[in-house]
Amino acid sequence: MVRLTIDLIAKSRNHFKKKRGLSFPHYLKTLTHLHFSSRNIDDIGDLSMCRNLTVLYLYDNHITQICNLGFASNLTHLYMQNNEITHIDNLSNLQRLSKLYLGGNRIAVVEGLEQLRELKELHLENQRLTPGEKLLFDPRTLISLAESLCVMNISNNNIDDLRDLAVLKELQRFSATDNKLQNIEELEDVFSHWPQLLQMELDGNPVCKIPNGILICKCTLLEINELTRQFLINWKASKESKKKKTIKQLLITYPLTGKQTSNISLSDIILQAFQCILMVGRQTHRMESSNCSGAVVDDSPASSPSSSPSPDGRRRELQRA
């Protein structure tokens, strides 16, 4: 078992070269960056003497728990991807933390970040979850990050719904590739809550395979990759084709009068169709009213009781009307 401690720092050649005649305690106080990636570290020990630590590299180790970092009030960057972490905890004292990298761990619930009011980037891609499990989000954490979080990566986590993330109104870059997103209307609604969005990545989701899908992001200066761009182009072409087919069918059923067909719009056709239906309804109503009144009697021979039209004749009159 390898534990990250002051003694391990003292034995590190890289840090030994940087002391330059300083006493070891004094050197630890001036230390701002600590590089211990790929060292088979299992646990984090007491590092409280590194009071000015701002960047900590601990990726590609075997750490199972985030601990003993409460002293690092100046820490801004924490790199702990590709470890064995199962829970996000013990980070409440890192008030200045700006970037948190936790991809490639075993985290099932995004929580414990309520106190990180300055967190701008959160990377949680490729969690090694049990089969059938998906990454979940604590609503309290999301609400606390709503005013600060700008970058989020949740790729390859079996996620099928993004509606909980709609509160993250400051998001500018979002990546959710290789998930299970397939409801277009839900995506459109979520993206409409992100007015600052500049870049998104959705490759590898079922929603990108729907030929007639719609994905409208109500944001400015949106940068999208080539696959998503082609998806939107195909949707637009399909939409125009459906519109033309609808107009053609309406023209056959309700031909326009007094308009040039080359300049018509869908609203004109719908209005014309409504007027035709309304006119037929009024004529039918008048004929039914005259049949039921019985107050008007015609003196002509055709109006005598013996010559009244049969039900079939009345039906033909209604059809002609």
Q: What is the pLDDT of residues 290-301, one digit of tens each?
A: 555 444 434 443
Does position 276 have pLDDT exceeding 90, yes or no? no
CB–CB of 155/175 below 8 Å?
yes
Rounded to the nearest angstrom, the gap between the alpha carbon of residue 216 and the centroid of all alpha carbons in its chain is: 11
Mean pLDDT of 300-308: 40
Closest listed residue to residue 190, CA positions, set 214, 220, 164: 164
Fold that domain 2-236 belongs to in CATH: 3.80.10
Q: Where are the domains of the chain?
A: 2-236
If one counts every other C-beta atom within 10 angstroms of the C-beta of residue 279, the result is 10
If one counts every other C-beta atom within 10 angstroms of the C-beta of residue 148, the result is 16
DSSP 310: P
Mean pLDDT of 160-172: 95
Does position 311 have pLDDT exceeding 50, yes or no? yes
Q: How far is the C-alpha of 187 from the C-alpha of 77, rounded, in Å? A: 31
Q: How far is the C-alpha of 275 from the C-alpha of 179, rounded, in Å? A: 49
Does position 314 have pLDDT exceeding 60, yes or no? no
Residues 90-139: tens digit of each pLDDT = 999 999 999 999 999 999 999 999 999 999 999 999 999 999 999 999 99
Q: What percent of the chain has pLDDT over 70?
A: 64
Mean pLDDT of 260-286: 60
pLDDT, residue 129, reads: 94
Top-confidence residue, 167 or 243: 167
If one counts every other C-beta atom within 10 angstroms of the C-beta of residue 47, the result is 21
| b/e map 190-202, b = 16+ CB within 10 Å | bbebbeebbebbb
Whether this model's pTM surpasses 0.85: no
What stretches of the chain show up as alpha helix (H) in DSSP?
6-11, 13-17, 24-30, 139-145, 184-191, 226-253, 266-293, 311-320
Name the pairing type of β-strands 55-57 and 151-153: unpaired
If one counts every other C-beta atom within 10 angstroms of the C-beta of residue 48, the result is 14
Residues 44-78: tens digit of each pLDDT = 999 999 999 999 999 999 999 999 999 999 999 99
